[in-house]
Amino acid sequence: MQKTLTVGLLGLGTVGSGVVKIIRNHQHELQHQIGRPVEVGKVLVRDLQKARDVDLSNDCVTLKAEDVVDNEAIDVVIEVMGGVTEAKDYIVRALKNKKHVVTANKDLMALHGAELLALAAESRCDLFYEASVAGGIPIIRSLTEGLAADRITKMMGIVNGTTNYILTKMAKEGLPYEEVLSQAQALGFAESDPTADVEGLDAARKMAILATLGFSMDVRLDDVVVRGITSVTKADLEYCEQLGYTLKLIGLADRKDERVEVSVQPTLLPNDHPLASVNDEYNAVYVHGEAVGETMFYGPGAGSLPTATAVVSDLVTVLKNMRLHVNGHAGARPLHEKKLKADVEIESKYFFRLRVIDRAGTFSAITSLFAERDVSFEKLLQLPVEGEDVAEVIIITHTTSKETYDFLYNALVKLDVIESVESSYRVEGGK
């Protein structure tokens, strides 16, 4: 009888429980894939008495990390406990003990991925992290394997299900941000402290990982320009609809002439853009390669079984590599030196919503300011505010640089005919 391959888990929450279920319920398929039985040997938990979705024997669960990472019987360590410092320490110990590692920890990989991958290569061990980005969508493997022969020039996507759910409900049901956030929390789509999601930090970590892989550059979290959705209003979404756009929190990684930009921000997309129809908690990543052209990956971005499926897929790859004796060769170092675009090199269209004094000369003052910087209007909407001597002016510009956008925004704030710049957003897609 062939030797059973033994897995140790760090964490038994939503994803960890899903991993155990898949290993148990898909045993026949796993044995077919790797030629050996797979079992869960030890699982690190924080509370031995806690009720869980899966039944494990008392000798399988432990409160001691060393029972997993220092255990000679464990072949592969799966980290699904979350956090950064503790998780990193355990993964380092596991790799130094010549154990292969699978993790779903986007925070850890965004901050320390290069260091951990270097240690894995030194230890001749695999370190895979498909589940760290977009849940059950196999985007990382697609970049490192399926599109490995291509040269990726752009990645753009919805990589946070919480914010996509919130924006979808606000747009389709006309509900205010605070009410939809409360609904998302009640349904489990948002944490009790939603800061990492709604301020764009979760998406930024994922985009740092994707940019590093897609462009083969050492892109760090600090390189990502981040803006969340907390300032998005019902009025913004209504005007977007009138003008034929949908507002999404978009992660963007773009490369041109070996210089890159990486950002996460609320962005207007034309209604016929593939990402505009991605709703609720779903994720999608749109990838452009010089050879393949445009591709899009779509699916559930979170949840127990979708994320666990990505974890177990990485596990299968590790076990196949063990059978072929080729572990430790997947973590290639970045090929290119990182060069970030300057603001003058970042080009886009922009949306402005202005509250202006409704009198003669107001519109002339605004158009003169834009003309001064050679920026023309693609779309324009002007509506009086009932009962007040003010109007709302909505502008979508033609393509200009971020440097010019920053100048215009600051100048508009100071212009005496403008009461306030109510909002402004980037616009992607369209002709």
The catalytic residue positions are 206
Residue 398 tokens read as: 């033609």
Query: Cα–Cα distance between 280 and 165 in angstroms, integer?
Result: 4
- Reading the block at residue 274, the tokens are 């593939």
Tokens 């963007």 label which residue? 252
CA–CA separation, 352 and 362 (whole Å): 16
DSSP character at residue 412: H
- What does the block give as tokens for 128? 């895979």
Nearest alpha carbon to residue 353 among 281, 429, 425, 266? 425
- Tokens 């009461």 correspond to what residue? 419
- Give burial (CB, 10 Å; 0-12/13-18/19+) of 87: buried
With contact defined as beta carbons under 8 Å apart, do 266 and 166 qualify?
Answer: no
CA separation for the pair 131, 138 (Å, rounded)? 8
Cα(first)–Cα(last) distance of the chain, in Å? Answer: 63
Of 300, 308, 315, the residue nearest 19 (C-alpha): 308
- 121 phi and psi angles, rounded to 5 deg: -65, -40
Residue 12 burial (10 A CB sphere; 0-12, 13-18, 19+) = buried
Longest pairwise C-alpha distance within the chain: 89
Q: Which of 229, 119, 113 is nearest to 166 (CA)?
A: 229
Close Cβ partners of 165 (under 8 Å, ≥ 6 residues apart) = 180, 184, 189, 190, 280, 281
